[in-house]
Copies of this chain bind each other. A is one copy, B any other.
Amino acid sequence: MKDYFKVDEWKIIEEGFDPHYNKVAESVLSLGNGRMGQRANFEEAYSGETLQGNYVAGVYYPDKTRVGWWKNGYPEYFAKVLNAANWIGIDVTLGDEPLDLAKCEVLTFRRELNMQEGYLKRSFKAKTESGKEVGVESVRFCSMVDDECGAISYTITPLNFNGEITLTPYIDGDIVNKDSNYDEKFWDEVSKATTNDGGYLQLRTKKTGFEVATATKIVLLQDNAPLEFESTPIEKEKYIGTTVKVNVGAGKSITLLKYAANLSSQNHSKEELANKATAVINRVAAKGFGTILAEQAAAWAEKWKNNDIIIEGDAKAQQGIRFNIFQLNQTYTGEDDRLNIGPKGFTGEKYGGSTYWDTEAYCVPFYLATAEQKVARNLLLYRYKQLGKAIENAKLLGFKDGAALYPMVTMDGTECHNEWEITFEEIHRNGAIAFAIYNYVRYTGDEAYLGDYGLEVLIAISRFWSQRITWSADREQYVMLGVTGPNEYENNVNNNWYTSTIAVWCMKYTLEVIDKVKQADQAKYDELAAKITFDEGTESGRFADIVAKMYFPQDEKLGIYLQQDGYLDKEQLLVTDLPATERPLVQKWSWDRILRSVFIKQADVLQGLYFFEEDYDLETIRRNYDFYEPRTVHESSLSPCVHAILAAKLGDVERAYQFYLRTSRLDIDDYNNDTEDGCHITSMAGTWMSIVEGFGGMRVKDGMLSFNPLLPDEWKALSFQIGFRGSLLNIRIAKEGTTVRNLSDNSVTVMLNGASQLIEAKGEVLMRT
């Protein structure tokens, strides 16, 4: 799959059409604006392989759980990302011949995602079965300015014939979810109306009762001037459309502009949805396509100003990072604290639910450095608001007294994943949520957050850990039985080092924060303790006892931490022993073989060493890295970025570069053979981390930014921007040295390769290599 897309610093370009890769291209070239999004499906009908997808943020369906054998504790429902009404559709008929690229000879084809200005452009020439040749050019985007709107300009040119062309722009709500447990459709119709140039369709989701009104308005242009047209409105069950017939001469073009608005009952009252959608669409259409496209480019320029990372001398690497930043910005803007970052964003529906531990472990750092502080804070508050449900969730599994287990996958705080080995056992997610609080406070210095919200979450999480561990009378230590670590290629293991480490860290940090909050505001602390009936004597004592007496598996001889009990009993193969035909393992090996093998899906011990690097010396990190990396198959998108950061830390710039390429081009190059289902959105934040924390060596220590730069040989220079506590810095790492420019109006002190540097407002420092 490598090299399917052309390399370009600002675009992802598909040149020529290969139906076999269509679903991959539909994923990679997806559009979104944080509020709605869609796959890069064709506007006209296509009977070939395609995964149709239009999504509205926050609108989901609780599909009845499907399992072979029900186990106590399974959630009843699994929240599905909903495939919503298709508003891009334009059926095209040439005479009486429907235009369908699967049935044409495709003479030329180009689809490109313009990341700089935020639109998708597609152009092709095709010859129909009867010999008609036609050219099409479409431009489409989801507006960042009017984030309930999208627009399409669809230009069609008969090349070798004169005649009637029928265009039927439509909104189709009678769609299916590919990911449906019982082949049900999830939408019901509420109401609809059509006019000669558009109409609206209002739908309601089953069970959840979300309503979405999708309004549309069409304009016909010839030679850039509006063209009067006659049309026939169509209304069907969950469908509205408008049929327009025009006669076009050979070589002449006709352009259909289609505006659409998607308004959800999450943001408007249900009664007003239809009227408001119509009003919005009229307002946006009145601006005109050219205007809103220019607004779109301007909005993206603003995003890029702070978000862009520039890699000089390596277009492939440059394309990779821009693609990642672009998709992250399309997925989540941080405006709405009810939303989160689904693992596929608006690019597919796999992995139902919108929130995983990915958010805390991978995405929070990106938003901390590239967006206003409230964005990361909103991500934290999202979990705070769901604390009650996390406590409920733990209760279902038999925990008590306010212990919280955050869900593995969720939309509204309710657990909706249903593999026991993950749902009940991949509990390290609780640790990532605590770590994000630590990380946020470390980065922003917003210690008030702890007393207001953080401590309540921390205590609930520590309560969970303190009940989840077991005192082993045999070892005279605490042990952690029956868990699944980040490496999901092991299930139900005992004493996973990462899980035990983050659990103990949680309890230690909770004890610290208790002290901090008490010192800052004893009354506030007392109020919280009363609210959650926290018995400090007993409970803190138990936390401290566990911290002191926890068992961590390790091997003295090798000087490494053991991923879990018994890891060294496995046959000690290396990834280099695996023939290419057996990769990816998850697609080629039976599950039991994977479980028994030494091979690791993603960073596990190394994830812990990454989070808590300050607690370990460099040689310990190196020994563990040298042991585990050769056993890691990186079949999780979340793996290469952590390895890139550690490789950079250990000075192995070439390995760091390879890992960077892998993480940044994971979807463009379809590394894991699964991009057709959608892009790996959350790991894109990991890609950002691999640049900034890896090559930039950025850390926060004692309230200061610190950099230890490292530049791959392949690059002339690397530069990125970091927002930190009200300052904005530009860091440029080049062969000759690293320049830090202070773009803000106040001076900033940073650490550069361990030396403290004061940078005046608007000033810069250069540290020569």
Contact = CB atoms under 8 A, between A and B. Distances in A.
Interface string A559-598: 0000001101111100000000000001111111111100
A474 interface: yes
B568 A565 contact: no
A31 to B, nearest CB: 29
Contact of A78 (B68, B73, B471, B492): B68
Interface of A: 65-69, 71-74, 78, 182-183, 396-398, 418-421, 424-425, 470-475, 479, 481-482, 491-494, 565-566, 568-572, 586-596
A74 B569 CA distance: 26
Contact of A494 (B183, B474, B566): B566
Nearest to A594: B72
A472 B555 CA distance: 14
Contacts of A421: 421, 491-492
B590 A397 contact: yes
A591 B71 contact: yes
The winner among A183, A424, A475 for most chain B CB atoms within 10 A is A424
A401 to B, nearest CB: 16
Contact of A474 (B71, B396, B568, B594): B568
A75 to B, nearest CB: 11
A741 B396 CA distance: 60
Contact of A424 (B73, B182, B590): B590
Contacts of A420: 591-592
A680 to B, nearest CB: 17
A592 B68 contact: no
Contact of A397 (B471, B492, B593): B593
Nearest to A472: B569
Contacts of A568: 472-474
A571 B475 CA distance: 12
A566 B596 CA distance: 17
A121 B148 CA distance: 71
Contact of A470 (B71, B425, B474, B569): B569
Nearest to A492: B492
A68 B474 CA distance: 37
Nearest to A591: B71
A494 B72 contact: no
Contact of A569 (B69, B397, B475, B492): B475
Contacts of A418: 68
A470 B566 CA distance: 12
Contacts of A474: 568-569
Contacts of A183: 182
A343 B382 CA distance: 49
A394 to B, nearest CB: 10
